[in-house]
């Protein structure tokens, strides 16, 4: 019997890419793919590996359901990608984000502790650090958590819970990552790159919030997944006592390819890849409330301690990503048919979700 991996959020963008790669990296592994199939999930993301996985529809914030999965499969490794992840939707409906990103993180950590899993890895985000001050070059693992949006605050709450488990339960090997903005195949077309491509292919302009000069740190999803897998299997040793006052000593790793670009420049690149004139295909629209202006993380700890490096060059990666969405029109057209239009126009709405019909 091979190693058993339990991967949550497996029908989402990053989780599905990890499951695809895990099936290649470890052909003898038993992969338990868990997802509650919420708004950001898409079961079709797992079609390429359906014959290699056991799929379970379950909510990570449901302790009874998760304890049963742990009992049934006895995983050695747990990777938690499950999260509600879009700032726009979090502004409109923050409650779902708090449940998944905070309570779900605690439920999974507790299940892993009680089941004595070998290693548990919690996947978080750059956004828990908040907005990068003008006088700082980048965030590091020692930076304070300063989340300021409902989405990032929910993720930061999950981070705090995981940090508490790191320091309180030495018998549990629990680790955490923060990643830069990911791009690549299978991303829900509410995010900038797939939204831009799918809009243009339907004859619509690319919406850019405000002046578009918000700057982001971009990482190919396959590089992110490779980093996660390396961190999951690294020999790290026990958490030192000094980590209680120095979070840089905790088993936390920031993952970045050190490629920063403005939203406007990124939109230009996407439109150019499609062979069109950005000046004719980009529309500036009202900015969303409380929009972080810039954030960037430093992957030096990961590079120095574990020897990880990204292998996807940004220009090539963006071109291949755009080409993927062009070639997989059936995939994203089905998503839009099921979920409706994914672009948010803040000029026409407040910060309250529409009432249920």
Tens digit of each residue's pLDDT (9 = 90 or more) over 178-215: 999 999 999 999 999 999 999 999 999 999 989 999 89
Contact indicator for 84, 72 with CB cutoff of 8 Å: no
Contact indicator for 154, 102 with CB cutoff of 8 Å: yes
Residues 271-299 have a mean pLDDT of: 90
Residues 206, 283: Cα–Cα separation, whole Å: 6
- In order of 138, 201, 277, 333, 345, the CA distances from 270 in angstroms are 26, 12, 10, 19, 21
pLDDT for 88 equals: 62
pLDDT for 341 equals: 81
- In order of 20, 298, 332, 347, the CA distances from 327 in angstroms are 19, 34, 10, 33
Tokens of 272: 């150019």
Helices (H), 75-220: 87-92, 94-98, 104-115, 150-168, 192-201
- In order of 121, 224, 240, 306, the CA distances from 167 in angstroms are 15, 26, 9, 22
What domains lie within the chain, and their CATH numbers? 4-184+218-258+291-312 (3.40.50.720)
Residues 220-242 have a mean pLDDT of: 97
Residue 355 has pLDDT above 60, yes or no: no
Residue 291 has pLDDT above 80, yes or no: no
Residues 334-355 have a mean pLDDT of: 70
Residue 47 has pLDDT above 60, yes or no: yes
Residues 105-131 have a mean pLDDT of: 96
pLDDT for 86 equals: 60
Q: What is the pLDDT of residues 55-95, one digit of tens each?
A: 999 999 999 999 999 999 999 999 999 987 665 665 667 67
The one-character DSSP state at 102 is I
Residues 184, 319: Cα–Cα separation, whole Å: 10
């Amino acid at each position: 019997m091979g190693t058993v991996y339990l991967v949550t959020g497996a029908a989402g963008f990053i989780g599905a890419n990890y499951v695809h790669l895990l099936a290649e990296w470890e052909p003898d592994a038993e992969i338990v793919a868990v997802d509650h199939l919420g708004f950001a999930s898409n079961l079709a993301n797992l079609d390429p590996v359906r014959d290699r996985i056991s799929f379970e529809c379950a909510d990570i914030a449901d302790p009874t359901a998760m304890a049963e999965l742990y009992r049934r499969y006895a995983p050695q490794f747990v990777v938690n990608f499950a999260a509600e992840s879009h700032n726009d939707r979090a502004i409109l409906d923050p409650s779902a984000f708090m449940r998944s990103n905070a309570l779900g993180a605690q439920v999974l950590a507790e299940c892993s502790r009680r089941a004595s899993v070998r290693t548990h890895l919690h996947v978080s985000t750059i956004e828990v650090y908040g907005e990068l001050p003008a006088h700082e070059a980048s965030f590091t693992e020692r930076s304070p958590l300063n989340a300021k949006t409902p989405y990032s605050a929910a993720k930061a709450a999950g981070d705090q819970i995981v940090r508490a488990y790191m320091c309180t339960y030495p018998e549990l090997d629990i680790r955490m990552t923060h990643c830069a903005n990911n791009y690549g195949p299978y991303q829900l077309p509410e995010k900038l790159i797939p939204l831009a491509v799918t809009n243009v292919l339907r004859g619509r302009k690319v919406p850019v919030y405000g002046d578009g000069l918000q700057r982001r740190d971009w990482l190919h999803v396959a590089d992110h997944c490779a980093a996660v897998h390396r961190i999951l299997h690294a020999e790290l040793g026990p958490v030192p006592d000094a980590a209680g006052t120095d979070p840089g000593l905790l088993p936390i790793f920031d993952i970045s390819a050190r490629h920063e670009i403005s939203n406007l420049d990124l939109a230009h690149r996407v439109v150019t890849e499609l062979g069109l004139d950005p000046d004719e295909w980009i529309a500036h629209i009202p900015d969303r409330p409380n929009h972080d202006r810039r954030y960037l993380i430093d992957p030096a700890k990961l590079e120095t301690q574990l020897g990880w490096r990204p292998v996807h060059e940004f220009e090539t990666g963006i071109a291949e990503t755009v080409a993927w969405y062009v070639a997989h029109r059936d995939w994203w057209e089905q998503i839009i048919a099921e979920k409706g239009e994914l672009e948010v126009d803040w000029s026409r709405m407040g910060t309250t979700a529409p009432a249920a019909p």
